[in-house]
């Protein structure tokens, strides 16, 4: 039986009826047409589906949409309202923190939480903070540079 849900998605109130088994990632991608978050595994290992739930990074492939009822969800599409890039987006671009780009939306949102919690993380803290996000292209080094650069810019 479908259930009614309402949530705040990238700052806008939305309401829908969904099957309880509908994973949040599928709701975002198929129903809400927000294809920024990606699916890279089914074991909640890769982090490509990461979104912010009430400001904290979560893997949207390991949540049912009904669990997000009444909550705030932010996807990568909501990070740059009015086209103004978040310092992290800008830094990933400047520092070549991405190659194929598949992991990037999740990586940026996890980094967003990291910088919210800890505005000037060390390299070790960045590495630890991103341990839930796999990247197969970059070897992570430019991602770390990007997070450092964004931290520096935010702090400035």
Contact status: 23 vs another protein (CB under 8 A): yes
Tokens of 109: 């949102």
Judged by CB under 8 A, which of 14, 16, 19, 72 binds another protein?
A: 19
Q: How far is the CB of 66 from another protein (least distance, A)?
A: 6
DSSP 1: -
Contact status: 112 vs another protein (CB under 8 A): no
Burial of 111 (0-12, 13-18, 19+ CB in 10 A): buried
Q: How far is the CB of 17 from another protein (least distance, A)?
A: 13
Contact status: 22 vs another protein (CB under 8 A): yes
Residue 84 contacts by C-beta under 8 Å, 6 or more apart in sequence?
none
Count residues contacting another protein (CB under 8 A)?
Answer: 83
For another protein, the closer of residues 58 and 151 by Cβ is 58
DSSP 99: S
Site for another protein in 57-86 (CB under 8 A): 57-59, 61-64, 66-67, 69, 75-77, 79-80, 85
Question: Locate tokens 């599409």: which residue?
Answer: 77
Tokens of 104: 């990037």
Q: How far is the CB of 36 from another protein (least distance, A)?
A: 2
The closest alpha carbon to 65, from 104, 25, 105, 29, belongs to 25
Contact status: 40 vs another protein (CB under 8 A): yes
Contact status: 41 vs another protein (CB under 8 A): yes
Contact status: 39 vs another protein (CB under 8 A): yes
Check if the beta carbon of residue 126 is closer than 8 Å to that of residue 148: yes
């Amino acid at each position: 039986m479908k259930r009614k849900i309402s949530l705040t998605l990238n700052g806008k109130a939305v309401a829908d009826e969904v099957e309880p088994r509908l994973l949040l990632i599928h709701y975002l991608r198929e129903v809400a047409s927000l294809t920024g978050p990606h699916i890279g595994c089914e074991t909640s290992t890769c982090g490509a589906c990461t979104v912010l739930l009430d400001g904290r990074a979560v893997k949207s492939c390991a949540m049912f949409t009904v669990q997000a009822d009444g909550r705030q969800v932010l996807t990568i599409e909501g990070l740059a309202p009015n086209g103004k890039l978040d310092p992290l987006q800008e830094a990933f671009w400047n520092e070549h923190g991405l190659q194929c780009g598949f992991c990037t939306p999740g990586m940026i949102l996890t980094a967003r939480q990291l910088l919210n919690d800890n505005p000037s993380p060390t390299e070790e803290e960045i590495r630890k903070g991103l341990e839930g996000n796999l990247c197969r292209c970059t070897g992570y080094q430019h991602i770390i540079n990007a997070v450092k650069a964004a931290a520096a810019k935010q702090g400035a």
